[in-house]
Amino acid sequence: MLRASRRALRPGGRLAFHTIELATGLSPTERRRALAAGPPAVALRTSYPSLLGSAGFSGVDATDLTDEYAATQRRLLDAMRHHDSALRDALGDDTVDDGLLRRRDTLDAISAGLLCRTQYVATR
């Protein structure tokens, strides 16, 4: 996907995206916890700067958006709690309970420094 994105850009064009990823320097136990709490894409075995470089991008800039990520997760959890009854009516208790647990686990992992959100900008 990154190589195709690079081909679609004019020389000097920029690619920007943000992603949720594992924090660096995690112990094996912390890594397992972060993998369980994050989205499937956090299982990436290499770094995004490395992938971008391999795809031919240069000038990779990374901006930490973890605080914003935590705030978004808190707002989503609050909204789920606020609309609990309607969500349960529409989706069922098990689905809502699973969603609340997952959201809390994700927020706990962010607070523990296991997950982060990063914006990457790279130049063709």
Q: Which residue has the higher pLDDT, 121 or 46?
A: 121
pLDDT for res 30: 96
What residue ranges define each of the domains in the chain, with the CATH number in brackets?
2-123 (3.40.50.150)
Confidence of residue 45 (pLDDT cuts 50, 70, 90): confident
Supply the DSSP string of the chain, one letter for each residue: -HHHHHHHSPTT-EEEEEEEEEPTT--HHHHHHHHHHS-GGGG-SS-HHHHHHHTT-EEEEEEE-HHHHHHHHHHHHHHHHHTHHHHHHHH-HHHHHHHHHHHHHHHHHHHTTSEEEEEEEEE-
Instruction: List, for residues 68-96, the tens digit of each pLDDT value.
Output: 999 999 999 999 999 999 999 999 999 99
- Give the pLDDT confidence score for residue 41 in this predicted structure: 87
Please tell me the distance from the alpha carbon of residue 14 to that of residue 73, in angstroms, as a whole number: 28
Confidence of residue 62 (pLDDT cuts 50, 70, 90): very high
- Cα–Cα distance measured from residue 3 to residue 81, given in angstroms and rounded to the nearest whole number: 42
Mean pLDDT of 24-31: 94
pTM for this model (two decimals): 0.85
- Judged against a pLDDT cut of 90, whether residue 20 lies above it is answered with yes
The rounded distance, in Å, linking the Cα atoms of 109 and 29 is 12
Whether the CB-CB separation of 71 and 110 falls below 8 Å is answered with: no
